[in-house]
Structure 1
């Protein structure tokens, strides 16, 4: 199962200057809980934004750069290559974590979306692609707690692709 995991604002912003334009500890906690001991798939820029691979996860980097390598990541160069790896373990949940181009390439083959929707507008330069919501159903929706550390209203939404 391919799952897309991200946070976005009202305007679909997911990033700015290779970083997130918000600070939302609830979302980071959710991300950690979902991905620890799992496989995460990302583009090279996302890897660079995190200053390297995340611990306690298998890190796969999808990049067009044939010369790119990283000692603690599996590097692949195409969606076809990704699908081959996924097909070898179809019972497993694979987490695509960004960025924009990787989401664009995997949206059509994804089975699930975990979205943290932040009810605020931020400036940004990276967006989650438009998707046809009629192809998806909301299977879980939970409001996040707003407090002194989590200043923005946010909702954790799970979409599953309709069969």
Structure 2
């Protein structure tokens, strides 16, 4: 009987672990991988101040969990066939429930507090349905191209995107 119970317990544990791994569909980078990605995603500009203070952000960094009074640039779209757009916002308000950043057509880009974890997450939702359609931390680059943070308290740069959705300094 002990062997049967032990075997059932092992099967249950393996099934639960596998299910959790499959359900957890988010990328976690090691410290070295994250450092390399930040270097690779650094924008190409002649302005060194911008180049070294505009930082590419990965979802695992959870940048919106604390109010940091920094400017963030989000390159996003609400349809795979649409062109990329860029929005800038200042992370200067505590998110109690949700904060709308911007909207386009019938879609909202917003921050909201996740019920289970209290993590502040970046989302896209349809206005009429009021349900999350795309989540930055789970997305595979179809709707979120990139997120950058301006790490200085001085005037933030005037950024635009090219036709491929890559960030660049306006006028370059």
Higher relative contact order (CA 8 A, sep 6+): 1
Tell me the TM-score range normalised by the shorter chain.
Answer: under 0.3
What is the TM-score of this pair, normalised by structure 1? 0.25
Larger Rg computed on CA atoms? 2
